[in-house]
Chains A and B, each alone.
Chain A
């Protein structure tokens, strides 16, 4: 039985002339244990797809079952419980609660489950150890670096032992080193049997995925399986053919990432040597443009 089964799922925002078809009859099946990258241009409906799968949003039409249960028409409270028990969210902007300590943030999903205080703090602490920032337990989120904050967010997503982890551009606000850290962490989690869905604009990150889904204008236009450690074929094509500023920046970001990954057996695309020099500044510019676009 597949973990996620979407059947002609549509999502319409607004109505009348102002309506937007954010998801256009998307059909998608994801098995347990897959590590799926979702790619596509801005506005293609990736986040909408993630929100529908994550039960944050209800589809306008279509069938959707999660873990064998029909969840297309759940009431808010029921979907909250499904989110709590089976889904872990990782966001681009970390979304830690600023007034709670890192430990309390990580323990929060357990609180909504009714776990006792001492138990949940212990579990949260273990989880922080697993993501490697146990020494930051009592820091406030504002006192963490972006990479550390995302690690804390991953710990929070994992603490309820969810079947499915949904990450919408988890590396969008991070530099290449932190991106690598986060992706490595996700890869490790994947190894323990979790199903992970993540959205990215960075073709290089498809190396971590076992499968890549491409979206355009709300439709799933391409779906391919890929070997771990290899950039997906279509993604690579995108890398060369569409040489827009954004893609350029992506490339620069990847080159920085690859520099930080000297021992990884990777299939690298040939790059112009000039890219290497401009790596750092372009990375920064990329993150700025990404924020501005939000």
Chain B
């Protein structure tokens, strides 16, 4: 029986090859379905891995305070997007919140991030899309980021026009490679460069990448030059130990709520939560693309059913011959089932190849790092095989149940 199956597989390949173009269009649905399933799963997997790397990088005992409420439920898409952009704010954090966090006893380090919208004047040009962020000396420790040159803002710099630059903006503002001690203008005021950050590794769906294009100045200076209109979009804080995170979270929650007049228009998040919020966007996207994939697999399956029905009709005479020389209904059935499975499996293989190409393109053109695991490839093959079997059943049954005489009589 096994060698017969091998014969069927060979015959199946022959007939799949025989009608190349027709079969290609038939497989298209499967190809699209499989490729999109693999792509989205691999993106999700990649983001998950990057996020967990980030958590390890930043540390588990970092607490983030953000304006607006964040529901870590994937169906609440609205707040997800506000988290993504970071700056579109529903509530707001205040100066008092910054103090509250800094004064908390269990917090060892904290830094506000306040956005200053202003223009920056360098050696040659004026930039008006640069991020100027007012923050405190603890920032490098909180985001676990080293400086390439110089030092970060210190406590002594409070009230001084000192700045630390991201790598991108540093090279754009100045002609020299290492512009330590050089000065430039923010909001018409002269600032001196104290240090330059290392490159911020870019991660998907986060605004860390922007830090390469950011200028960090002391928080109080930021408030001064904007006349207290700098928007605090995040406060980062770190507890001494990981065990202190939970009590600190609730005490912060309580005290900030008091600041806000008993309103819950802010969120206090642990590291996992603040990063997971990002993946909510992804899960929305995943649902969407999974829907597309399911539909294209369905369409692909129907296409396969059609092509198999045509194939069965075209090969009635052959079926008659096979039955005359002793093929049982089951043997005819399995012949056509194998053929439809091969057809959809080939679609699956092509889909995997397409997904691999997508993967390469994404790695090249975006900061996404999709991870194609063997499990998802196996799943794709399984799904396409299942589609072939499910949608091949009706045509195969039709072939198997055909009366031999009628089949023999039908002409090509």
Where the two chains meet, the residues of A that have a C-beta atom closer than 8 Å to any C-beta of B are 51, 54, 56-57, 76-77, 80-81, 83-85, 89, 91, 95-97, 99-100, 104, 108-109, 111-117, 120, 156, 160
Contact = CB atoms under 8 A, between A and B. Distances in A.
Nearest to A88: B325
14 contacts: A54-B324, A77-B328, A80-B326, A80-B327, A83-B323, A89-B324, A99-B11, A99-B18, A109-B325, A109-B326, A111-B4, A112-B327, A117-B6, A156-B325
Interface string B399-412: 00000110010000
B14 A83 contact: no
Interface string B1-17: 10110110001001100
B323 A95 contact: no
Interface of B: 1, 3-4, 6-7, 11, 14-15, 18, 317-318, 320-331, 404-405, 408
A95 B324 contact: yes
Given A80-B326, A115-B3, 11 more contacts: A51-B405, A56-B404, A77-B328, A81-B326, A84-B325, A85-B326, A95-B408, A99-B11, A99-B15, A112-B328, A160-B326
A198 to B, nearest CB: 16
Contacts of B6: 117
B352 to A, nearest CB: 29
A56 B321 CA distance: 11
A80 B14 contact: no
Nearest to A157: B325
A100 B14 CA distance: 10
A150 to B, nearest CB: 14
Nearest to A86: B326
B14 A99 contact: yes
Contact of A83 (B7, B326, B408): B326
B18 A108 contact: no
A125 B15 CA distance: 25
Contact of A77 (B7, B324, B329): B329
Nearest to B404: A56
A51 B4 CA distance: 26
Contacts of B4: 111-112, 114
Contacts of A89: 324-325
Most chain B C-beta atoms within 10 Å of own C-beta, residue among A54, A83, A96: A83
9 shortest A-B CB distances, which residue pairs?
A: A84-B326, A117-B3, A80-B328, A109-B325, A111-B4, A112-B326, A95-B321, A83-B326, A56-B404
Nearest to A55: B404
Contacts of B321: 95-97
Q: Which of B6, B14, B320, B408 has the most CB of A within 10 A?
A: B408
B167 to A, nearest CB: 65
Contacts of A97: 318, 321-322
A195 to B, nearest CB: 18
Contacts of B405: 51, 56-57
A283 to B, nearest CB: 24
A91 B318 CA distance: 13
